[in-house]
Amino acid sequence: RTSRSKMPQYPGLDRWILVEKMGDGAFSNVYRAKDSTGEIGEVAIKVVRKFEMNSNQRANILKEVQIMRNLDHPNIVKLVDFSESRQYYYIILELCPGGELFHQIVRLTYFSEDLSRHVIVQVAEAIEYLHETSGVVHRDIKPENLLFYPTPFVPSKHPKPKQPGDEDKEDEGEFIPGVGSGGIGTIKIADFGLSKVIWDSQTMTPCGTVGYTAPEIVKDERYSKSVDMWAMGCVLYTLLCGFPPFYDESIQVLTEKVARGQYTFLSPWWDDISKSAQDLISHLLTVDPEKRYTIKEFLAHPWIRQSGEETTAAA
């Protein structure tokens, strides 16, 4: 356990009591924190080291915050507050106590089709809101940026082995996605650091003067949305089998494979995964962005429409 005294102190962050570090990035640390006023409860705080950034990078942080400020969807991490000191930006976010989806894939090796559907449908609903309602493309969809709020644990058949000193404690059990009725819980898209506004939030038209927008801009907008769809294909592929569709030790070879859309449904891992799931993935991992599925087409696909009665984890 991380003790509170070991947590760093940041100027101007007096309201929040840092509890533990949850993650980090190139210029930031993310902490779980408690509200000292008790008004809000727990949050996540992304502390960004301004002093290590150039003016362009700083502007990008402000853009990230500005974009998040305008979003309101159950499957998107909410911005709670934003402030700054001389050296830091503080991005106060809705806490996702489950952490990264990435860790759950690693822990379970792979997800069943029902559990994968339960996850990807939530991601898709957030993407639909971004693409169709907010005019935002995320541009960095990946398992590390998909966080979740776990289903409340039902103390059932998975008791944690008792540790010495735990005798009086209630059985907390172990979090096993898919066990119980709620699947994994609520998936939330995080990290708008690379995201971009493609629509004017006021007029809901492609950014620029209405009627004067050039065709390549309109096309650009469609292309930029399609990058999120490609990424969703990669996420869905990874959920179902536990490894990504494109991989190589050499960055050069990997880049070549992606450029050609060179992937396979590798045997034996894909042998028992439905043809319908493979069909959906192949419409996302389509090199030509014009032919790639849009979010609407994704949501209409039979594999998505078919309801998972049981959301069970992979054995």
- Residues contributing to the site for Mg ion (CB under 5 A): 145, 191
Q: Virtual CA dihedral for 186, 192, 195, 199, nearest 10 degrees? A: 70
E strand segments, the chain: 16-24, 28-35, 42-49, 79-84, 88-94, 136-137, 146-150, 185-189, 196-197
Q: Which does 114 bind (CB under 5 to 8 A by kind): ligand ADP, Mg ion, none?
A: none
Nearer to ligand ADP, 44 or 126 (CB): 44
Residue 293 CB, shortest distance to Mg ion, in Å, is 25
Residue 303 CB, shortest distance to ligand ADP, in Å, is 28
Nearer to ligand ADP, 33 or 241 (CB): 33
**Can you say whether the dihedral through the CA atoms of 101, 269, 274, 293 is positive or negative?**
positive
DSSP per-residue codes, 255-309: HHHHHHT-----TTTTTTS-HHHHHHHHHHS-SSTTTS--HHHHHHSHHHHS--S
Residue 145 CB, shortest distance to Mg ion, in Å, is 5
Among 140, 166, 200, 272, the active-site one is 140
Q: Which does 96 bind (CB under 5 to 8 A by kind): ligand ADP, Mg ion, none?
A: ligand ADP
Task: Write out the two tokens for 223.
Answer: 């292309």
Pairing of strands 196-197, 136-137: antiparallel
Q: How many CB atoms lie within 10 A of CB 57?
A: 14
The reply to whether 271 belongs to the active site is: no
The reply to whether 291 sits in an annotated binding site is: no
Residue 107 CB, shortest distance to ligand ADP, in Å, is 15
Q: Which does 154 bind (CB under 5 to 8 A by kind): ligand ADP, Mg ion, none?
A: none
Q: Which residue is nearest to ligand ADP (CB)?
A: 25
Q: Virtual CA dihedral for 20, 25, 26, 30, nearest 10 degrees? A: -40
Nearer to ligand ADP, 71 or 77 (CB): 77
Q: Which residues bind ligand ADP (CB under 6 A)?
A: 22-23, 25-26, 28, 30, 44, 46, 77, 93-96, 99-100, 144-145, 147, 190-191, 193
Nearer to Mg ion, 145 or 151 (CB): 145
The reply to whether 20 sits in an annotated binding site is: no
Q: Which does 100 bind (CB under 5 to 8 A by kind): ligand ADP, Mg ion, none?
A: ligand ADP
Residue 81 φ/ψ region, left for φ over 0, alpha for ψ in the -120 to 50 degree band, beta for the rest: beta
Residue 314 CB, shortest distance to Mg ion, in Å, is 25
Residue 121 CB, shortest distance to ligand ADP, in Å, is 21
Task: Write out the two tokens for 273.
Answer: 């995964």
**Can you say whether the dihedral through the CA atoms of 251, 257, 263, 266 is positive or negative?**
negative
Q: Which residue is nearest to Mg ion (CB)?
A: 191
Nearer to Mg ion, 184 or 190 (CB): 190
Among residues 314, 50, 25, the alpha carbon closest in space to that of 142 is found at 25
The reply to whether 216 sits in an annotated binding site is: no
The reply to whether 310 sits in an annotated binding site is: no
Nearer to ligand ADP, 7 or 218 (CB): 7
Answer for the pair 180, 154: CB distance below 8 angstroms, yes or no.
yes
In the three-class reduction of DSSP (H, G, I as helix; E, B as strand; rest coil), residue 18 is classed as strand
**Residue 100 gets which letter from DSSP?**
B
List binding-site positions for ATP: 46, 144-145, 191
List binding-site positions: 46, 144-145, 191
Active site residues: 140
